Amino acid sequence: MTALRTAADRGARTQYVPGEAGRRHALGIALNLASAVAYSTSGFYTRLIPLDSWTILFWRGIFAGLFIAGFVVWRYGRQAAEIVRGIGFPGLAAACLSTLATIMYINAFRLTSVADVMIMNATTPFIAAALGWMWFRECEQWSTIAASAAALVGTAVMVGGATQEGHLVGDLLAFGMALCMAGMMVIIRRHRETPMLPAAALSALLCPLLVWPLAHPAVGGGTNMLYLGLFGVTQFGLGLLLLTLGARLISATETALIQASEVPLGPLWVWLAFREVPALPTWIGGAIIMAAVAGHVCVSRRPSTAGAADPPVPPAGPRAERSMPST
């Protein structure tokens, strides 16, 4: 059995196409950047909608889940039911981790400072790197780790001295959020042959189910419902859909690093829409984060022989054809 597996691995390596791998890697970066832009509008919508956070989470999850589910039906047509059944345990695990991350993220803001939450969120690339190495020995390039460290420094500059003490429960929730997000990214990367879009829809729909007892679904007024629909579709739904597609194509650490660009973009949209001028450390830290992400994107475009983030193209055959619709 070992000899057969070794022969199969050699056969896969011989079909490695650097150009194709480079295109997949570039597409993964582009999808994750677009996802970060979508996610970064969260602050804009929360300022726009005059409702409590639980009600916003309730309706945002419903609209996002319906949006992603509609995309799955449009993408796969009559095969949609089979695709949903094919998520298996990895898909269920990714959905649960994503839902837990969302719930812990909101509650962390209630129990600790925004600064602590942002710092914990900035550790996600390092957690993803550790999980990826422990799980399937995926070693990151030095440039990815260096850019992640720079993004962490930029986040620290943004929050400045706002970190508070005595908020252990909130800090643990923030760390749990980062751990769940890193775990979800690693699962999607590890099981990239598994269809994960149905899992993303399930994750979005689980959120309103869990917050229902605390929410007030009667929002009152068509304007609020319109904003909630846009919030669910353009921020959570689109962001989660693009993240699910992009995380399959690059390493979990790279995914978490690129998602860090959400941190400086959030205050930017609020400033443009509501004229809330960010403090100077926010501009400086945000510039450091964006420079780290941009630098990593530029470095990652260079040819590399490591192949850590770009898996070999699977051999042609029934298995490869069957796995194609999993995007």
Pairwise pLDDT comparison (289 vs 109), residue with the higher score: 289
What pLDDT band is residue 220 in, cutting at 50, 70 and 90? low
Task: Please work out, in degrees rounded to the nearest 5, the angle formed at the alpha carbon of residue 36 by the alpha carbons of 30 and 40.
Answer: 150
Among 218, 112, 109, 201, residue whose Cα is nearest residue 164: 112
* Burial (0-12, 13-18, 19+ Cβ within 10 Å), 96: middle
82 in Cβ contact with 325 (< 8 Å): no
Please state the φ and ψ torsions of residue 87, each to the nearest 5 degrees.
-70, -30
pLDDT at 312 over 50: no
Q: What is the pLDDT of residue 219?
A: 76
**What is d(CA 201, CA 65) in angstroms, rounded to the nearest whole number?**
5
Mean pLDDT, residues 115-128? 79
Q: What is the pLDDT of residue 266?
A: 84
Q: What percent of the chain has pLDDT over 90?
A: 33
| DSSP class per residue in 21-63 | HHHHHHHHHHHHHHHHHHHTTHHHHHHH--S-HHHHHHHHHHH
Mean pLDDT check: name the lowest of 64-73, 208-217, 261-270, 316-325.
Answer: 316-325
| Residue extents of the structural domains in the chain | 42-303
Letter string b/e over residues 207-235, b meaning 16 or more CB atoms within 10 A of that residue's CB: bbebbeeebeeebeeeebeebbbbbbbbb
Mean pLDDT, residues 299-310? 53
Q: What is the pLDDT of residue 300?
A: 72
Letter string b/e over residues 255-281, b meaning 16 or more CB atoms within 10 A of that residue's CB: bbbbbbbbbbbbbbbbbeeeeeebeeb
Among 285, 277, 271, residue whose Cα is nearest residue 160: 285
